[in-house]
């Protein structure tokens, strides 16, 4: 931090991705919490003038509350490195790897972490015929928050018709049955396991709309499965080279015990909204929202 009497933090939010609205909510919540912790806060809606705005502001730290492409895929991180501004969350390489689901899986496999089989195919091929035997999932290779996820059920006679926002190359992934579990990693510590209970798929609405899902934390699961989740989340965080806060998502086929765990992905910038999972896990661990945001700012840095 600088010699200012009150440390200044720029909170990046919004941006041009498909997750803009979620990011705006995250940014406002984090800004309010940081003001409560005594920081001077500037809210910055990330646009084409972002570099110029940050150059003018010269904050002591940047709190990155962006979600989706450009904000959590290494692009903004590279700009912040160039400007020499300490920032929260992961650096350029870890952010880019985690956002590219196919490459992240290669890293996880090399680290001995369990993942499901998947292929990258042209969108037209995914719409023309079943690429995998149903059930399977079709999704973008580089989006988050369940944006553009299509589940092809076992009884499906035809492949899905994909929406206009889907990219030209998509990931087709074997469907992982079971319960939805997630673990937040804070620095070098895995906080807890949350069991996410929904009526159907844990989609965008289930993640961000009030009442869209119910969270059981700590999850009511066998101790060995919980321990495996915590260990795998920390291993995945380290394998990608993540920093600060991350969240690992799992599916668990409970009939297979610990062997039923599958790592889906790692989110390098978990949601920070009132219904978000990471703030909830921190709270259960005795860390309130203000303290969590303060820790993230104090952890900020370059060369991440």
Active-site residue, from 17, 19, 73, 118: 19
Q: Is 157 a catalytic residue?
A: no
CB-CB contact of 38 with 6 (8 Å) = yes
Q: Give the number of other Cβ atoms within 10 Å of residue 127's Cβ.
A: 17
Q: Is 283 a catalytic residue?
A: no
Active-site residue, from 71, 249, 251, 260: 249
Active-site residue, from 14, 15, 74, 271: 271
Q: Is 180 a catalytic residue?
A: no
Active-site residue, from 91, 143, 208, 304: 208
Q: Is 165 a catalytic residue?
A: no
Active-site residue, from 26, 64, 145, 278: 145
Q: Is 290 a catalytic residue?
A: no
CB-CB contact of 304 with 90 (8 Å) = yes
Nearest alpha carbon to residue 1 among 243, 289, 268, 294: 294
Q: Is 35 exposed, middle or buried (0-12, 13-18, 19+ CB in 10 A)?
A: middle
CB-CB contact of 97 with 90 (8 Å) = no
CA distance 230 to 219: 12
Half-sphere exposure in the Cβ direction for 92 (13 Å, CA): 10
CA distance 80 to 91: 10
Active-site residue, from 20, 69, 243, 247: 247
CA distance 18 to 253: 31
CA distance 40 to 33: 11
Q: Is 95 a catalytic residue?
A: no
Q: Is 56 a catalytic residue?
A: no
Active-site residue, from 29, 173, 265, 280: 265
Active-site residue, from 64, 90, 95, 267: 267
Active site members? 19, 145, 208, 247, 249, 265, 267, 271
């Amino acid at each position: 931090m600088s010699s200012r009497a009150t440390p200044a933090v720029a909170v990046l939010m919004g941006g041009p991705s498909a997750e803009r609205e979620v990011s705006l909510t995250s940014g406002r919540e984090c800004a309010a919490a940081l003001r409560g912790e005594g920081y001077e806060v500037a809210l910055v809606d990330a646009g084409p003038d972002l570099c110029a705005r940050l150059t003018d502001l010269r904050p002591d730290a940047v709190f990155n509350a962006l979600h989706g492409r450009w904000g959590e895929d290494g692009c903004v991180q590279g700009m912040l490195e160039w400007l020499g501004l300490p920032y929260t969350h992961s650096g350029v390489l870890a952010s880019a790897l985690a956002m590219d689901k196919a490459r992240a899986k290669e890293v996880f496999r090399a680290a001995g972490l369990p993942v499901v089989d998947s292929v990258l195919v042209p969108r037209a091929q995914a719409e023309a015929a079943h690429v995998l035997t149903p059930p399977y999932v079709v999704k973008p290779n580089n989006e988050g928050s369940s944006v553009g996820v299509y589940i092809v059920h076992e009884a499906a006679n035809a492949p899905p018709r994909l929406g206009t926002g889907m990219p030209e190359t998509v990931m087709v992934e074997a469907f992982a049955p079971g319960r939805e579990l997630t673990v937040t990693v804070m620095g070098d510590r895995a906080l807890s396991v949350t069991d996410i209970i929904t009526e159907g798929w844990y989609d965008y609405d289930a993640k961000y709309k009030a009442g869209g899902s119910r969270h059981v934390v700590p999850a009511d699961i066998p101790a060995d499965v919980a321990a495996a989740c915590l260990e795998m989340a920390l291993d995945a965080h380290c394998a990608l080279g993540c920093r600060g806060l991350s969240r690992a998502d799992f599916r668990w086929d409970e009939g297979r015990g610990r062997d039923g765990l599958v790592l889906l992905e790692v989110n390098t910038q978990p949601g920070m909204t009132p219904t978000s999972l990471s703030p909830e896990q921190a709270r259960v661990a005795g860390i309130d929202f203000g303290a969590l945001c303060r820790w993230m700012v104090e952890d900020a840095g370059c060369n991440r």
